[in-house]
Amino acid sequence: MGMEEFVFVGQEWWGWIIAGYLFLGGLAGLTLPIAYYYWVREKNRAMSLAGGLASFIAIVVGILLLIIDLGRPQNVMAMFTSPKLNLHSWMTIGTYIIVLFTIFSGLYTLPFIPGLGLLRKREYRKYITAIGGIAAFLGLATAAYTGFLLAAARGVQFWNTPLLPVLFVASAISSGLCLYCAVVSPILLKTSPSFREAAVRIRLELQRLDAYVIIGELFILFAYLNISLWGSPGARESALRLISGDLAAAFWIGVVIAGLIVPLLILLGYTLRRKEESTPVIIMSAIAGWLTLIGALLLRYLILHAGVIPTPIT
Amino acid sequence: MPRYGFVINLSTCIGCGACVAACTEENTQVLKELSDEASVPLGGRRDIRVVEDGKFPSVLRISYHHTCMHCEDAPCVSVCPTGASYRTDEGTVLVDYELCIGCKYCITACPYNARYVNETLGGPDKCTMCYHRLKQGLLPACATSCPTDSIVFGDLDDPNSEVAKLAKHAIPVGASLGTKPKVYVIPP
Ligand code: SF4
Ligand code: SF4
């Protein structure tokens, strides 16, 4: 036997909880920069409040999921106090990024809370803009890190590619955009009169971008599967599980069709053509948004679950 | 400092599993010091797995030894956030439970699937080369229990040691994975 042979053992350690964490990290990470964009461009307070809050809640829930998944939570403080802290580990880098992101997204959102009166003073605005810039950057870093975390896990060859962070960021952008269309916008339409005037324009902007991102994500996803098929034995095995194996139904129907193609068709065929916020448009936008969000969660779960460790036997 | 490693002779291994039983018994005692209920499940730290390959009539039956390779470039160590997974001066890879948060990153990072979650401890567990025995000048439990002496342990850097002589003609397990494993096999 000159050639090495492998048996493939399914990765069973990271499941739904970590998938939820990766999903929420990406979602929170991209929701804030979108809010920030509308603050810088047109001082849209309603979006900063809603987006900032959503982002803050999402990242806090994400951190809780991460802690729930720990086998030895009694030692969690070792992430901050260990004398041997490993700054080269993506787990360490990521922990510090999300902690800082949580703080900055909270700080950014605070002044938008009505009644605090912090926005009344014009000179405060430049501080808000600065803090928001840092928060937006940390958000992007959070989304990217969720991919780098997996890419560095050498046991699971399917994850060992820089395309994975790219895929996760694309999916996170789409998730962030959809959170506005599915959740934020319907709430703001009811509660914020100033938002109502801008609602159509903002929705069209977000959905137009989303359509491009979904198309890009489809390309990245197929590139990822393709290089995996031609890559190392474990990557190939995992890709086959998604394409034609035990996970194919969930992957094609759940992720590709329901999570990407159907929302894209709804955007291109209906909501992007309507220049009003009527009930059917709101409902269709919400459907497209929720499908995207569920698809993004499922994508992460399936990428985790498809992971195999190719144990060498010779 | 010695550089400890194993040579496993698959041409004499009869797949009896005495090493697995000895490992479980020995190391359950060690884990008891961390927690009264802790134990090493059979096949947890080391395992003999039989794989059949090919189609009748040319079936290849390989019993391979599934264990930690104590890699010199150990991915489990490089991903561990808190430094809980570490290498000793002898190159033995161990887990410090005082620092381990149980994130399981090391398990997904190990290309040999050598780690498992010890349910009682909530953290990763794997072969330690019986580090506690090495400190007393003893061999790892598996090596002493093998009826056919198919597990040879020792200092790979000592040219007079049996393990170093055998390793010259043996194959490092999964060398293409690039982690510099310190377990070698003599093929069947
Ligand atoms: S075999 Fe796995 S657990 Fe053992 S040292 Fe190598 S990477 Fe670490
Ligand atoms: S489970 Fe423990 S030993 Fe493994 S990477 Fe996490 S902290 Fe380190």
- Find out whether A28 and A142 touch, Cβ atoms under 8 Å: yes
Ligand 1: lining residues by beta carbon, under 6 Å? B 68-71, 74-76, 93, 110, 112, 114-115, 126, 179
Query: Is A73 touching B (CB cutoff 8 A)?
Result: yes
In angstroms, how far is CA A133 from the centroid of its own chain? 19
The full set of domains in chain B, from first to last, is: 4-186 (3.30.70.20)
- Find out whether A311 and A6 touch, Cβ atoms under 8 Å: yes
Q: Per-residue pLDDT for A86 more than 50?
A: yes
Interface pTM, i.e. ipTM: 0.93
Pick out chain B residues at pLDDT < 50: none
- Evaluate: CB of B84 within 6 angstroms of ligand 2: yes
Instruction: Determine whether the interchain pair B174/A4 forms a contact, defined as Cβ–Cβ distance below 8 Å.
Output: yes
Query: Is B139 touching A (CB cutoff 8 A)?
Result: no
Please give the torsion angle defined by the CA atoms of residues A257, A263, A269 and A273, in that order, rounded to the nearest 10 degrees. Answer: -170
Residue A1 is predicted with a pLDDT of 40
In a mutational test of the A interface, the residue from B113, B126, B184 whose CB has the highest number of chain A CBs within 10 Å is B113
What is the rounded CA–CA span in Å between residue A220 and residue A287?
24
Instruction: Please count the residue pairs, one from chain A and one from chain B, whose beta carbons lie less than 8 angstroms apart.
Output: 143
Instruction: Determine whether the interchain pair B103/A90 forms a contact, defined as Cβ–Cβ distance below 8 Å.
Output: no
Containing structural domain, residue A168: 3-312
Name the CA radius of gyration of chain B, rounded: 16
Which amino acid makes up residue A209? L
Q: Per-residue pLDDT for A68 more than 60?
A: yes
Kindly report the CATH number assigned to the domain that includes residue A111: 1.20.1630.10
Summarised one tens digit per residue, pLDDT across range A285-310 is 999 999 999 999 999 999 999 999 98
Which atom of ligand 1 is nearest the CA belonging to B93?
A: 5
Q: How many domains does chain A have?
A: 1
Closest CA to B174 of A1, A152, A235: A1
Residue A195 is predicted with a pLDDT of 85
pTM value?
0.95
Instruction: Determine whether the interchain pair B79/A309 forms a contact, defined as Cβ–Cβ distance below 8 Å.
Output: no
Summarised one tens digit per residue, pLDDT across range A110-140 is 999 988 877 777 778 889 999 999 999 999 9
